[in-house]
Every structure is written in structure tokens, then in C-alpha cells.
Amino acid sequence: MKERLSREAIAMRIARELFDGAVVNLGIGIPTLVSSFVPEGMTVIYHSENGMLGFGPVVPAEDMKELADIDLVNASGQYVQPKPGMCFFHHADSFGIIRGGHVDISVLGVIEVTDHGDLANWMFPGRGVGNIGGGMDLAFNAKKVIGATEHTTKDGKPKIVKQCCVPLTSPGCVDLIVTDISVIEVTPYGLLLKEYAPGWSVEDIQALTEPELAVAKDLKEIELV
Amino acid sequence: MLNKVLDSFDAAVADIPNGAVVMIGNFAGPGGTPYYLIHALARQGARDLTIVANTAGGVGLTLDYDDHRLLFQNRQVRKVIASFPFSTSASRPSIAEKQILANEVELEIVPQGTLSERIRAGGAGIAAFYTPTGAGTVIESGKERRVFDGRPHLLELALKADFALIRAYKADTFGNLVYRGTARQFNPVMAAAAAVTIAEVDHIVDPGELDPDAVVTPGIFVKRIVQVKEDPGFPRHPERTFQVRGQHQGKEA
């Protein structure tokens, strides 16, 4: 039976891309969930645009009164907890870290992504407005950019397309696309299907993907842990 | 004797004229936003302002509160330069959003890293700089493109302001500032980029009371300091440090 992965499962798969000591920036939405699935014993150093490295988990709802502090929030505006080894710096230094190529992995949401790795994710669909925020600097400058997304829109249209219809965040920036039915690498020769969700065939995935997919020699079912 | 301390927020913003360029320290929530200075500027009523800030107010990612959206509400703003100008909720558009879409307020949208670097450059005497961010996107429009190391870059101009309204944790009377946690954000770069920088702080101490090694903003950048005397009621524990030791990993959500 064909199943689509939950948002949490997409995040679990992305967490497998992390490595010990990695400097990681997580965008709003599915990307934020990745931090819940870091393997035990691995140290991941999270970067937040508002000037923070190495912070701890989000404050749980039941501890808000005790722990929430407006002076300790992540880039999504969520209250987080302090952690040994964390540090603070100002905004220009924070983006010096990004622009200088010191962020190993940036996980970003996707509105559209192409076979060239062009990413569009800042203009709200249907609203004609959007927030560029820090996403553009991350997309242009992180060492590795992972797009985290449902494979299709709510109306079932492909989000992996030949050309973006909405304004770009960055041309040619995405390295890996993790969706609810597939894991696809963006290569200089186009898209390479590497993993599929349980029950999905190459044809099923191709039917929901605009550009042509090459199939990896070692194509396999998505492993979450 | 050098003393930059003023008694009231109203006095601190009294001379901001119509048409001024005003930078406001701000990120996603009240942390690091000069709440009382903004309210004073709203009372003062200067118009045709150009606001330089991360948001155009009312984004409410952390919590919903009266930030510089008040200035839009009062129709004091002619132009806003921001990276995150719109509400994330289509059903709850911000006041600025309505005014921007109605062409009542001009918007210059800037990638956040370019915004913070343009401000830093403004304070550091750098007229302009090349950054890769934005090349090949709508941001490139009207800008000089130049290739370095095989990669296209855009020329971005420095930003300066007539006034900066900033938020810090502690000041000495010379204006040396220390910050608390992520409330630092844009505040130190804005402090250097404005002709007149006004700091809203929790504590004011005598020179010598701050560890010179811990000072983030040199006092020469700060012209006026006002201490917060009431509690606006935001979740905050200013008596606590964020320093934690040992194997503490925080409580899992």
C-alpha cells in the first residue's frame, strides 16, 4: 500500500543527513522538526539568524511559565532553552557566519524546486507578498541546502517543476530534496531518485514530478533510522 | 561630567523630526525591541518617517504586542526598509501590509543578511559592498553585478540613519552597553549606524561597573540612555543568566 510520510517522518529522514559537529540552520515548518530526531550522542550546533549558536530544545508547553524568556528565542520566534557551550553575537556577525560559508546544512521549506536546484520559497502562494527574511542568505551560502517538503501541493500539483512560477529564493542552490514520498539528489545532470516511500514505484513518483528523474543504481526504500 | 542619561522616553525622542530615517532594533518578538521608545515616538507624532527594521511591525511570531506597528497605525511612516515585512498569517495581515499593498507606504524588501550588513557598513564607513545573496532573483533589479571567483555578486549600498532606537540590558552612564541573549540581534550594528542612538535599558550603572571585556557596544555610539521603570509583562526573567554548566541538555519538548 502506498503511504505518504508524515511531516515528522520527513524530518526524521533529514536528520540522517546530520553529522557530529555540524553547524545547522533549520527554517520554519518541517525543518524545525528535524531537531527532535538527532541521534543520541551526536552534537549538532544549531545556528539561529538572530545571533545564537548551540542552543537547546524548544521550551515545552507545560514549562512556559517557568522557562519562557523573550530574550532567548529562535528564528521562528519560539522560546528555547540555554545549553552549555552556546553563544550569542549580533545580526551582522550572524549573517557573516552564513555568508562566509560556515553553516554546513541549511534545511529550508519549499514552494517550488527545479531539476537545476532553483528554489522558490519566500512569496506566499496566492497572496502576492512575502518575507525574504534570512532564507535567501542561507539558500545562497550554506554548504549544503536540503529542501523539506510534501511532494505535491494541496491540489496535487507537482512542487518539483521544470521552472519556478513564483519569485526565486536562489537559483541552483538545492542539493537534496526530501519529500513525503521520495529522496531526490540534485546533480549537475538533473534529478536522481535515491529513495522511495513504502509502496511507491518509480513510475508513481515520476507521475507527480515534472522534470525527468534518473534512478539511482542503489535505489532503496526510505530508511528513517 | 559626561552623562547621557535622560529621565523620560518622551524627552529622548522629542527632537525626531518629520522625514527622519529611524532604525529600530527588532527581530521576531519583544526581545531586543525598544518598546517604550517606540511608544514615545508614537506619542510624539513625527511623520513621513523612513523606518529601517527587520519587520514592519505586527509580525507576532513570538507573541502579539504593540511594537512599531503603532507607527504605521498612526500613519507616521512613508517608507519601510525590512526583510520580513509581512504577517505570516493571511487571515491576520499586519497594518503595514495593508498600507504597503495600497501604495500608502513604500517598501524596500532586503534579504536579512544584506540588511544587517548594509547597516554594519553604514556604521563602519564602508560605502558599499558586494554580496552573492540575491544574484539572479528579483533583488538584483537595478543593481551592479560583478563576478568574483566565478560567482555573481551584487553591489549593495550602506544604510545610515538619523536616529536609532535600540534595546540593551545594561548601560553605564558613558553609554557602554551589554545585551542579554538573543535580544542583541540588530541593536549593536544599528547603534553605530545612526547620528543619534537612543538606548532603552534595564539597568544603568556607573562607569567602571561593567566589565570592559563584556561590553558589546562602545559608549561612543550611544547619545542617550533611558532606563525602563515599569514591567510591560512579557515572559522574561532578567535576573537570570543564560549560562549553564555541565551536561545540562534542557528539558525535551
Q: What is the pLDDT of residues B213-240, one digit of tens each?
A: 999 999 999 999 999 999 999 999 999 9
Query: Searching chain A, which residue's CA lies closest to the CA of residue B241?
Result: A82
Q: Choose between B180 and B3: higher pLDDT.
A: B180
CATH architecture of B5-227: 3-Layer(aba) Sandwich (3.40)
Q: Is B130 helix (H, G, I), strand (E, B) or coil?
A: strand
Check A52 against B131: CB less than 8 A apart: no
- Which pLDDT score is estimated for B223? 98
Mean pLDDT, range B38-49, rounded to an integer: 98
Grid cell for residue B152: 555573481
Q: Which of A82, A91, A167 is the closest to B116 by Cβ?
A: A91
- In the structure grid, which three cell numbers stand for residue A169, read together? 529564493
Q: At CA A79, angle to CA A146 and CA A110, rounded to 5?
A: 25
Nearest CA in chain A to B109: A132
Would you place residue B89 in the very low, low, confident or very high pLDDT band (cuts 50, 70, 90)? Answer: confident
Mind listing the pLDDT tens digit for each residue in B98-126?
999 999 999 999 999 999 999 999 999 99
Asked if the structure places residue A98 within a domain, the reply is: yes
- Cβ count within 10 A of residue B208: 9
Q: Does B229 touch chain A (CB under 8 A)?
A: no
Res. B163: pLDDT tops 60:
yes
Which of the pair, B36 or B253, is modelled with greater confidence? B36
Range(s) of the domain holding residue A178: 7-34+93-221
Average pLDDT, chain B: 95
pLDDT of residue A1: 80
Is A52 inside a domain boundary? no
**B29, B134, B252: residue with CB nearest A70:** B29
Q: Where are the domains of chain B?
A: 5-227
B188 in contact with chain A, both atoms CB, cutoff 8 A: yes
Confidence check: pLDDT of A15 > 90: yes
Residue A75 lies inside a defined structural domain of this protein: no
Asked if B120 reaches chain A (Cβ–Cβ under 8 Å), the answer is yes
B252 touches chain A (CB under 8 A): yes
Backbone angles phi, psi at A149, to 5 degrees: -165, 160
Q: Residue type at A15?
A: A
Q: Which of A151-155, B102-106, B243-247 has the lowest mean pLDDT?
A: B243-247
B112, B156 contact by CB (below 8 A): no
pLDDT at A145 over 70: yes
Residue pair B112/B120 in contact (Cβ under 8 Å)? The answer is no
Judged against a pLDDT cut of 80, whether residue B49 lies above it is answered with yes
Instruction: Give catalytic status of residue A212 as yes or no.
Output: no
A174 within domain boundaries: yes
Q: ipTM score here?
A: 0.95
Contact assignment for B181 to A76 by CB distance below 8 Å: no
Least confident among A26-40, A86-100, A176-190: A26-40
Average confidence score pLDDT of chain A? 96
Structural domain contains residue A48: no
**pLDDT category of residue A42 using cuts at 50, 70 and 90:** very high
Mapped to the 3 state alphabet, what secondary structure does chain A carry?
CCCCCCHHHHHHHHHCCCCCCCEEEECCCHHHHHHHHCCCCCCCEEEECCCEECCCCECCHHHHHHHCCCCCECCCCCEECCCCCCEECCHHHHHHHHHCCCCCEEEEECCEEECCCCEECCECCCCCCECCCCHHHHHHHCCEEEEECCCECCCCCECEECCCCCCCCECCCCCEEECCCEEEEEECCEEEEEEECCCCCHHHHHHCCCCCEEEEEEEEECCCC
* Helix, strand, coil fractions of chain B, as percent rounded to 5: 20, 25, 50
Predicted local distance difference test score (pLDDT) of residue A80: 96
Q: Between residues B28 and B21, which one has the greater pLDDT? A: B21
Residue B84: CB partners within 8 Å, gap ≥ 6? A131, A132, A133, B28, B54, B55, B59, B112
Catalytic residue among A17, A49, A112, A195, which?
A49
Q: What's the rounded Cα separation, in Å, for the pair A162 and A164?
A: 7
Q: What is the pLDDT of residues A122-143, one digit of tens each?
A: 998 778 889 999 999 999 999 9
> What are A59-78's pLDDT values in tens digits?
999 999 999 999 999 999 99
Q: What pLDDT is attached to residue B90?
A: 84
Give the CATH number, domain containing residue A187.
3.40.1080.10
Q: How far is A208 from chain B (nearest CA, A)?
A: 27
Nearest to B94 by CA among B58, B119, B128, B68: B58
